[in-house]
Structure 1
Amino acid sequence: MSLLASYALFALIATLANIGTQELVMRLYLGSSALWLSLLAGTAVGLVLKYLLDKRYIFHFQSRNTVHDGQIFILYAIMGLLTTAIFWGFELLFHVLFDSREMRYLGGCLGLAIGYLSKYHLDKRFVFNKDVA
Structure 2
Amino acid sequence: MNIALLYALFAVISTAANIGSQDIAVRAYTGFGSIPFSVVVGTGIGLIVKYVLDKQWIFQFKANNAKHDASTFVLYTIMGLVTTVIFWGFEFGFNHVFHTKEGRYVGAVIGLAIGYITKYHLDKKFVFPSSQRIGQE
TM-score normalised by structure 2 residue count = 0.95
Tell me which residue corresponds to 1:81. Answer: 81
- Is 1:66 aligned to residue 61 of structure 2? no
SS of aligned partner of 2:62: coil
> Deviations along 1:94-133, whole A, 9 cap, x unmatched?
0000101001000000000000000000000000004479
- Is 1:9 aligned to residue 9 of structure 2? yes
Q: Does the CA-based 8 Å contact 1:126-1:132 persist in structure 2?
A: no
Q: Select between 28-37 and 75-84 the one with higher mean Cα deviation.
A: 28-37
Unaligned runs of 5+ in 1: none
Taking the aligned partners of 1:94 and 1:53, their CA distance within structure 2 comes to 28
Tell me which residue corresponds to 1:27. Answer: 27
Superposition RMSD in Å: 1.1
Taking the aligned partners of 1:98 and 1:43, their CA distance within structure 2 comes to 21
Tell me which residue corresponds to 1:103. Answer: 103
Q: Does the CA-based 8 Å contact 1:86-1:111 persist in structure 2?
A: yes
Task: Give the number of equivalent residue pairs.
Answer: 133
Q: Alignment identity in percent? A: 51
> Deviations along 1:36-88, whole A, 9 cap, x unmatched?
11011000000000000000000000000000000000000000001000000
Q: Does the CA-based 8 Å contact 2:55-2:61 persist in structure 1?
A: yes
- Deviation, 1:33, is 1.2
Tell me which residue corresponds to 1:123. Answer: 123
Q: Does the CA-based 8 Å contact 1:14-1:46 persist in structure 2?
A: yes
